[in-house]
Structure 1
Amino acid sequence: METKKKLDSKKNSKQEFRFSLLMLLPALLFLFVLIGYPLGKVIYDSFFNVHLINDEISGFAYFDNFSKVMRDERFLPALINTCIWTIASVCGEYIIGLGSAILLNKKFYGRTFFRIATFIPWLVPIIVAGMTWSWMLNPDYGIVNYALSKIGIIESPINFLGDPKYALGTVIFVNIWRSFPYFTISFLAALQTIPESLYEAVSIDGGGKVRQFLHVTLPQLKSTSIIIIFMHLIWTAINFDFIWVMTQGGPNYATQTLPLLIYRYSMQKFDVGAASALSTLLMISMTICFVIYLKIKNKSDDNA
């Protein structure tokens, strides 16, 4: 009797598995067409000579595409710019997002309005935000230079996006302005789940606001911080459209990052093999970041 029940249970489990697989099949097929095939094609093309215009350039290239990319004089500056762009953006977004979340979590008159206003930059499309800031920062008619001149901070207009000294920092600043609301939303949601009893316990022990922040707020936000930091590290590193809209990698390649270099290989030099090789290298880097994130998160969950 027990043997028959076990057999029936196994049969039902197999039927449930087949039914679940059948229901998931359209989604799996969609993911394969949308992500799987293009990803495999990029990795495949990275080992071949592929040119968009010249069909005579073909054949197995071994690791020549990777060697070509890494020997390119633009590769190292683009790599450095990518690291600066990514780390500075995420650090700025984290600090401003955390600070604004703590302020918006307090009770004050007009809090709802300020919460809504804080989220507006995140809702603005990247192209609209980039073009608007480009106009605002224009040295001839931009409102930023006009305001700074009126206040007396500068004597003559600054070409924020046209001067290599200011271009990368300016793009990073605008990116922080647009992206920090995502951190604010995440931290604000997490702050509202922290029990007030924890703050009261620290207060009873004689702890002030700083101690409450260090011993209650930050530890309680650890899990949220890990998730959004690694998400934004990956998102920012592979971001293409924001820099392209504002500077197109200029002036004199001062804001060129690896995604922009991939675009130049594929759409300007028509060298798909080199573009695929650089994309594969970038994908490997992002995969390493994701593995590190999983290890840190699992360790954090175990400790919790």
Structure 2
Amino acid sequence: MRRVTLDVQVGLPAREASAPRRPAPSRTARMRRAAWLFVSPAALFFLVLIAFPLVSVLWRSVHFASLTNPTVTGFAGLENYRTILDDDTFWPALRNTTVWTVLSVAGEYLLGIVSAVALAQPLRGRALFRGAIIIPWVIPIVVAGLDWTWMLTPDYGVINLWLVKIGVLDHARFWLGDMSTALLTVTFVNIWRSFPFYTISLLAALQAVPQELHEAAAIDGAGPVRRFVSITLPHVKTVSLTLIFIHVIWTAINFDFIWVMTEGGPLNASVTVPIMIYRYAMQDYDIGAACALASLSMAFMASAFFVYYYGALRRAKGAAR
């Protein structure tokens, strides 16, 4: 008894025996900690290369800023946005961006689904055609744009030469210099370059369609068109919507093709919102107005994303019911 009392007074053995032990971290906690450890480089990458520039653009959109005049500073409020809306080029650029995006995505999807269905058929040399069709998409945009610019030149372009020889045109036409054809010509070239991406993606989706469904539908008397509408399209719906949504964003913010081929001309006939952003920043050196226009573009893209996301979520809930 005396020995126990001494031990308690000294405090070591008895206190150690009575001290509660911390429970070891569970397997779930260890896995969560390891997951955060692996995700942290990607999160840091996101913060440095995406989040910080995004916040910087939003901040500068409400401040005066110039590349050539460091004295131009201060809070602008909505003045930069007012400058954009008062610009006579803004509404034509917005209309051209809409036309450019809608026609490009529609043409790309139409050619992509047709070529994917054709390449899914048991034809001789199918592997060769599947490999060759990707060539336009792997060509750099600058190279493709310059090549098509040379081919469309009225003086020595082969496109005009062929069209005149077969009787489609009476004389060579300046496709990129005519206000009525400049934007449509660049759109056509963009469709030519981008539709192979649709082809490859949709062809992969078509490979997953059960052949038994087509055979059963054919036995029931369904023709090729009926089988395509009732069987093929529903099975590639998810891939199609994803491709269309991604390419709407990619096309709307595309700068390279139009700048290489027309630079937004002639007389702003093919100017788009990205071209306006470039002009504000690199020609007028008005960083505040350029960031304001970029912020408006981001707001539109974010709105389109949320509409698509919640629409898909609602469709998924409806299907689950």
TM-score of the superposed pair, with normalisation by structure 1: 0.95
Matched, 1:15 2:25: no
1:235 aligns with 2:250: yes
Structure 1 residues 110-119 or 236-245, which shifts more?
Answer: 110-119
Q: Take 1:23 and 1:211, find their aligned partners in 2: how far apart are those partners?
A: 49
Give 1:224 deviation, angstroms. 0.6
After TM superposition, list the pairs within 5 Å mapping 1:1-304 onto structure 2: 8=24, 11-302=26-317, 303=319
Q: Distance in 2 between matches of 1:95 and 1:204?
A: 28
2:262 counterpart letter in structure 1: T
TM superposition shift of 1:204: 2.3
Q: 1:300 deviation in Å?
A: 4.0
| Per-residue deviation, 1:30 | 1.8
Q: CA RMSD in A?
A: 1.6
Deviation at 1:48, TM superposition (A): 0.3
Q: Which stretches in structure 2 are left out of the alignment for 5+ residues?
A: 1-19
SS in 1 for 2:134: helix
In structure 2, distance between residues paired with 1:81 and 1:31: 32
Deviation at 1:33, TM superposition (A): 1.4
Aligned length: 299
- Match of 2:180, SS? helix
Q: Does the CA contact (< 8 Å) of 1:223 and 1:300 recur in 2?
A: no
> What secondary structure sits across from 1:57 in the alignment?
coil
Residues 50, 36 of structure 1: CA spacing in aligned structure 2 closer, same or farther, 3 A cutoff?
same
- Post-superposition offset of 1:28: 1.6
C-alpha displacement at 1:113, in angstroms? Answer: 1.2
User: In the alignment, residue 102 of structure 1 is paired with which amino acid?
Assistant: V
Could you tell me how far 1:60 is from its partner in structure 2? Answer: 0.5
8 Å Cα contact 1:46/1:273 also seen in 2: yes
Q: Which amino acid aligns with 1:171?
A: V
Counterpart AA for 1:169:
L
Q: Which has the larger radius of gyration?
A: 2
* Secondary structure class of the residue paired with 2:241: helix
2: CA distance, partners of 1:20 / 1:50 = 41
- Partner of 1:165: helix, strand, or coil? coil
Measure the CA separation in 1 of the matches of 2:290 and 2:75. Answer: 15
Task: Give the Cα–Cα distance (whole angstroms) in 2 for the partners of residues 292 and 90 of structure 1.
Answer: 18
Equivalent position SS for 2:99: helix
Percent of paired sites with the same residue: 48
Q: What TM-score comes out, normalization by structure 2 length?
A: 0.90
**1:113-171 deviations in Å (ceiling 9; x for gaps):** 11111111011011110000001001111000011111111111100111111100000
Secondary structure class of the residue paired with 2:290 = helix
Query: In the alignment, residue 194 of structure 1 is paired with which amino acid?
Result: V
Cα offset, 1:213, TM superposition: 0.8
